[in-house]
Structure 1
Amino acid sequence: MARILSVLLALYLALCTVAAPLQQRQVGDLQCNIDRLKIVNSLASTGTAVGEIDTTDPATASAVTAAQAGLTSAGAGIKTIALSLITGQAAPASARDQVKAGLLAAQTALAGINDPTATAAVTAAQNQLNTTIADGAAVVADCN
């Protein structure tokens, strides 16, 4: 997960420095780019928070694996969007849908954890995921 997020951050930084004409790219304004950076950072923080959940219980371990898979899928969607932006292509709607579906899959998986020994870590991961979802909604709202 950290490797994917490092690649996404590098792609984002490259996006900010590519010298193609602005009208040919979906660079976005300052707020849009701040939102994009925030979702990349919050997705990384969510992955860290999910990784801190005690997986001793098999059902919890399974749910954590599902949450991590959702986050990985969301990260792959963000990577697709970033690559589109860098190359001057329109970001595919399917990539936005992939980000949304990945975040919702992670949310569903975390909601299914009923292990009392993991309650605090699960709550922390859910709170961080809610921040990530809000950051994604900001990207949608601010990056037309």
Structure 2
Amino acid sequence: MARVLSVLLALCLAFFAVAAPLQQRQVGDLQCNINRLKIVASLASTTTAVGKIDTTDPATASAVTAAQAGLSSASDGIKTIAQSLVTGQTAPASARDQVGAGLLAAQTALTGITDPAAATAVTAAQNQLTTTIADGKAVVADCK
């Protein structure tokens, strides 16, 4: 959670930083920046939801660990993008790809959980992850 909050702070600083002139895609318009904040917030919510899954079953525990690793990778990608914004650099395409790959890894891991004891929490985490993925797609669409 602290990692996600540090990413959120970096994004906020990027939005309001007085830095060297940035390309329009880097700064983005109001909707772009709203979407950037939304993905950070929904990623934090997804991480929290995944953490609530009952990991008593070893297979579920393994899948939760994989989902958390994917979410952590996505967070690292967002952090790289935020650091680029703050420093006036072009955000690397590889960071955007890292976010997408991390979210996909989390989605794949959650889909593999079949333990009935975890069903409600898994559904909640999957629903939150769907929101996070949609928020990520909105960033790609609006931050041009």
Amino acid in structure 1 at the alignment position of 2:6:
V
Identity of aligned residues (%): 72
What is the TM-score normalised by the length of structure 1?
A: 0.96
Q: 1:20 maps to which residue?
A: 19
State the alpha-carbon separation in 2 of the partners of residues 140 and 22 from structure 1: 21
Amino acid in structure 2 at the alignment position of 1:121:
A
1:7 aligns with 2:6: yes
Q: What is the correspondence of 1:109-128 to structure 2 with a 5 Å cutoff? A: 109-128=109-128
CA offset at residue 27 of structure 1? 1.0
Q: 2:89 maps to which residue?
A: 89
CA offset at residue 3 of structure 1? 1.4
Aligned residue pair count: 143
Amino acid in structure 2 at the alignment position of 1:4:
R
State the alpha-carbon separation in 1 of the partners of residues 61 and 20 from structure 2: 48
What whole-Å deviation, never above 9, does each CA across 1:43-94 have from its counterpart, x for those lacking one? 0000000000000000000000000000000000000000001111111000
State the alpha-carbon separation in 2 of the partners of residues 104 and 23 from structure 1: 30
Q: 1:79 maps to which residue?
A: 79
What is the TM-score normalised by the length of structure 2?
A: 0.96
State the alpha-carbon separation in 1 of the partners of residues 92 and 65 from structure 2: 27
Structure 2 contact 21–88 (Cα < 8 Å) conserved: no
What whole-Å deviation, never above 9, does each CA across 1:80-117 have from its counterpart, x for those lacking one? 00000111111100000000000000000000000001
RMSD: 1.1
Amino acid in structure 1 at the alignment position of 2:9:
A
Q: 1:63 maps to which residue?
A: 63
State the alpha-carbon separation in 2 of the partners of residues 143 and 24 from structure 1: 11
| Structure 1 residues without counterparts, runs of 5 or longer | none
